[in-house]
Structure 1
């Protein structure tokens, strides 16, 4: 059936029959859909007071970049550094990790292009690889590979540049060059070049990428010195320390002990199983993505146990859903679309994943939780990396129901996870296709 004049007239008569529609239309035209639908009781439900909190540093700002996953991971790690250095706050260089992420992603992409050179150019896999090879985003396991290989440095050792805070132009140029390199590698393979010749060609490509990154992000240090004053105003200076030594000494994480739990309640992903994603990673020789799918209650229990122990929690979510960014509130009842439009969006979490309506888009840090008298979570305290203009000077509040609906991943120490979910790590890992929604990357700015 086509859209006819008669059908349009029918729609218009139905619209005109309800006088409220015109009042709503006028309101939306002035202030927009969300402000017209916002729940005025939102602030009453979010006092920004929480029963259990961890330590945290000063609020950070990823600026116009998609480095949220880096900021969240480093903001989680810095709490241990603050304790070891005996300082009130501390910030790692996100530019340093960005440099290595870009270089490693370029290598990962080009290696994948060589591995798939026999496939048709229009195959779904090759087109997937070419779609977005060097964007800013990532997942927890991708970042642990960078930490293991390159360590970390204080922000003053490799401070921000224009392009670390504004990555669009850099990404556009890198994407164009990587697609060019991919074309030449596939052409060389078709011409019968040997594996050694393809590797040499790839290394020439990486030399360009390294030079470009050095020009835009700065030179990465092999060793550095770092001076600071502790909480008692005592002066300290660390000299000739490598980034790996700094991370090992002043973060001192056993990355093997930090486990990712995901919540993907879709039929194709049974709970209690471990999953990875094909062709997803940063460090090519690093360990592949590996996480355990579990009920949302398991993610909450692990996060609460960690927070109670003073350990902040890295997490990944779909931040754009039911978010009042200015107020810094994530609440599943933030906007009453049904009252304004006649009906809301009625998809379950599983349906949102299956039908492309939701996926992991942003990473932040849980630094607190508000528990009721029975120990059940009411709301969650969230450290974001969007500066201090939104929320309570950069701190956001998340309702527990929002956690249910839009949170997808937490990374915590093994000891905070129930043994029934850890068993999955000893069983065969299920490989997900590269375009699976759980292969999405946190990169919202």
Structure 2
């Protein structure tokens, strides 16, 4: 039976506070400066010196502005890094607006198909509620980006530049989600009336045509062919005419995307290590690449990341960027704030407990571009963010090794760096299907 807080209980609690050493001094400090400033640990700033023994040259950072496209920015940044080096181009970016358009379009179809597939479930069912809560959003995961590139290719940013709705996506998302929910009403009704499936598909295609129009107005029309012009660092002019997005990707990026796989660290009871997982209802391109995670110990994620950096290649990673971080200083460190010491309360949770009890999950994707090794062991990591050059060290952040351990959940690794056993597990094991609301289904924004 529930028990309320009695007046005696409250009086005792108030007396305990009044007797606490330095309570009034600490109260004034926190009320005036806030929790983070009052518990800030200056030793962290000293330890997070932006110097690294292994570092991949990457150039200027990009800026996703007021949109949740970090997963796209991070992925396209990993691809532009070798492009800039090979073709001697500075300041080059791939078009995030191009992938944004096709992601929105494909997510609409993904939503419609799932509405149809779950139409036998009642409103209020948890799975139906999950779909309707957020029909689509800006966020995503690595495998979702791969699915887009494999189907639509890529284009330079100069060919499909940013628009208002690409950089400030709230209005587009509001109107697009309104349309998708409205269409869900009709699709569920048609299915309930046992309408022939070809008629349902015809109606869905009409909806997709309308979605395309909304996206074209807001983001522009994706190019089918284009000319690519640039001047390299030797001042030499180049022009490549009548490229398609697919031929541009093949010629100028040239990655075999099947080689790059998602490796996660989810130390929860329902996800044993050295097994493969996917997440129900997670994706964007129907029939495209599915999200597939190999769950490994955190030390393996670090080993694989270092191996890829030492080979001269940057690493896409997903983490909970809001935890123990200072955006302006560009520091992510478990020691940067000491709220437990300030309040004299135990705030410690294990990584697994944070996942299980909704305290943490992947929220943001960035790129690891360097690491500082001392006697072979990492102490801190260099991170390329996509928040522009006004934060951190001209847009770059420093991540402590302890922060990597606690708040990094996913890295994307070329399969050649996996052990033979890890590669076999990833390629040949049947994936365990996680619930749609599992934290490993979180979308980076």
Provide TM-score, normalisation by structure 2: 0.98
Which of 424, 435, 438 aligns to 1:436? It is 438
Measured after TM superposition, the shift of residue 19 of structure 1 is 4.0
Residue-by-residue CA offset, 1:167-193 (whole Å, 9 max, x unaligned): 011101111110010110000111121
Residue-by-residue CA offset, 1:186-214 (whole Å, 9 max, x unaligned): 00111121110110010111111100000
Which of 227, 230, 245 aligns to 1:228? It is 230
> Gaps (5+ residues) in structure 1?
none
Measured after TM superposition, the shift of residue 288 of structure 1 is 1.2
Measured after TM superposition, the shift of residue 238 of structure 1 is 1.4
Q: Which residue of 1 aligns with 2:409?
A: 408
Asked if 1:164 is matched to 2:146, the reply is no
CA distance in 2, matches of 1:134, 1:364: 21
Q: How does 1:276-425 map to 2 (within 5 A)?
A: 276-372=278-374, 374-425=375-426
Q: Which residue of 2 aligns with 1:139?
A: 141
SS at match of 1:238: strand
CA distance in 1, matches of 2:82, 2:152: 18
Contact 2:65 2:168 in 1 (8 A): yes
CA distance in 1, matches of 2:29, 2:110: 50
SS at match of 1:428: coil
SS at match of 2:305: helix
CA distance in 1, matches of 2:87, 2:246: 17
Measured after TM superposition, the shift of residue 89 of structure 1 is 3.2
Q: Which residue of 2 aligns with 1:255?
A: 257
Contact 1:322 1:332 in 2 (8 A): yes
Which of 45, 48, 59 aligns to 1:46? It is 48
SS at match of 1:87: coil
Measured after TM superposition, the shift of residue 84 of structure 1 is 3.2
> Gaps (5+ residues) in structure 2?
none
Q: Which residue of 2 aligns with 1:99?
A: 101
Measured after TM superposition, the shift of residue 55 of structure 1 is 2.1
Contact 2:278 2:431 in 1 (8 A): yes
Q: Which residue of 1 aligns with 2:87?
A: 85
CA distance in 2, matches of 1:204, 1:211: 11
SS at match of 1:332: coil
Which of 177, 189, 192 aligns to 1:190? It is 192
Q: CA RMSD in A?
A: 1.0
SS at match of 1:41: helix
Contact 2:115 2:187 in 1 (8 A): yes
CA distance in 2, matches of 1:37, 1:236: 54
SS at match of 1:391: coil
Measured after TM superposition, the shift of residue 418 of structure 1 is 2.2
Measured after TM superposition, the shift of residue 419 of structure 1 is 2.4
Measured after TM superposition, the shift of residue 88 of structure 1 is 2.7
SS at match of 2:229: strand
Residue-by-residue CA offset, 1:255-291 (whole Å, 9 max, x unaligned): 1111110000011111110111111101111021111
Asked if 1:64 is matched to 2:66, the reply is yes
